[in-house]
Structure 1
Amino acid sequence: MSYIEKLLQGAEVDWKPLGEVATLEKGKQLNKSLLTESGSYPAYNGGITYSGFTDRYNYSENKTIISQGGASAGFVNFITTKFYANAHCYVVLPNISRVDNKYVYHLLKMNQENLMSKQLGAGIPALHTTNILGISIPIPCPDNPTKSLEIQRKIVEILDKFTTLEAELEAELDCRKRQYEYYRNQLLSFDMLNRGGKG
């Protein structure tokens, strides 16, 4: 029996479209002149990361965002600081009495590849709201909101640990790769010295 099955303890799971447990808002256009290198808040638009900084924000911290337009449309991110959501950025606002904020993020991140495959448009690809709001969200113990949220938070705790571990492994791999390249270059240089620098 898996850990998730133990958490559920045979409880009912109800699948709901995201649109029934969350709303989706689109960011507001920010004049490029308001983007600076030294602003207090990151501004997110249609990319994978922020497009710059600004001295204003339109959303508080701990929000799930989804890129609405461009080659990265469908990319899912979780923002832990106050930020400005620009016109090519969707912000997911869950009904926290029914679903945990981070639980929704992990489920959307799991569906990221599917969302990115739904891009439409030949010029600047875009993602329609229906593709996001139609994603099915499993709600454990739907008749017991307190227990449901408790289970969701335990699932989030597990997934957050895996996310942290993955980031640590990627950093370790990057470090080992640089170490390998350094020693490879040193060994090749040594080899060249032994041959008097002749190829």
Structure 2
Amino acid sequence: MTLGEICKNICSGGTPLKGNSEFYENGTIPWLRTQEVVFNEITKTECFITETAVKKTSAKWIPANCVIVAISGASAGRCAINKIPLTTNQHCLNMEINSNVAHYKYVFYCVQNQYNELLDKKEGARGDLNASRIKSLKIPVPSLSVQERIVNVLDNFDAICSDLNIGLPAEIDARKKQYEYYRDLLLNFDPLGTVLAQASKQASNN
């Protein structure tokens, strides 16, 4: 299915006029910029805007657990998940996933896995991504139970890779390569049952 087909809502954000103090001064609303989109989970933002900015500009609230894809410049193609409700600038494409069809974290992993494919879709002098091209990106959509198993396996490997207290740098590098290997196999579904069994066993042993 395409990303557009599995989303409840897709929108971009907006950047309130920088010179207007009423849009930023004493702002409390989290406002995400593309440089903060780095294949991560967003729990806070560096910048904030005001209620007035939301009312008077194209900046808008999005719910937690959207898949956010940067669509402009050097950041284009990178993705993230917002763990808090927030607003974004206009260079973020925000996808609210239909939970009856897909698990948001599974979609995140699929988009992350197709980063190079997204880079190939960049166009123009600045290397921007067209929103319609992102929405037309196809990902495999197995049952929700299979998606959840894949997410659990990849989350376990991700936790191991992210824990800087585990082992020596060489061991951490080996874990990253192992994670990438299983991620690619899982998302290619070849063969799914065998891969899930191997990856789950490997994750539990660690």
Is 2:103 aligned against 1:108? Answer: no
Counterpart residue identity of residue 43, structure 1: W
- Matches for 1:148-187 after TM superposition, within 5 Å: 148-169=143-164
Shift of 1:19: 2.0
Alignment partner of 1:71 is 2:57? no
Quote the RMSD (CA, aligned, Å). Answer: 2.6
Contact 1:68 / 1:128 at 8 angstroms: preserved in 2? Answer: yes
Matches within 5 A, 1:116-131: 116-122=119-125, 124-131=126-133
Provide the residue aligned with 2:17 in structure 1.
31
Give ranges in structure 1 of 5+ residues lacking alignment: 1-15, 141-147, 175-199
Structure 1 stretch displaced more, 18-27 or 94-103: 18-27
1:139 paired residue among 135, 138, 141:
141
Residue 42 (structure 1) aligned with residue 30 (structure 2): yes
What TM-score do you get using the length of structure 2 for normalisation?
A: 0.62
Scaled by the length of structure 1, what TM-score is found?
A: 0.64
Report how far residue 169 of structure 1 moved.
4.2
Instruction: Write the letter of the residue equivalent to 1:44.
Output: L
The correspondence for 1:88, drawn from 91, 102, 106, is 91
In the alignment, the residues of structure 2 paired with residue 48 and residue 131 of structure 1 have an alpha-carbon distance, to the nearest angstrom, of: 22
Q: Distance in 2 between matches of 1:132 and 1:92?
A: 10
Give the number of aligned pairs: 150
Normalized per residue, the structure richer in strand is: 1
Contact 2:67 2:97 in 1 (8 A): no
Aligned to 1:196: none
SS at match of 2:74: coil
Instruction: Give the superposition deviation at 1:96.
Output: 1.4
Percent of aligned positions that are identical: 28
What's the CA shift for 1:24?
Answer: 2.6
Counterpart amino acid of residue 119 in structure 1: K
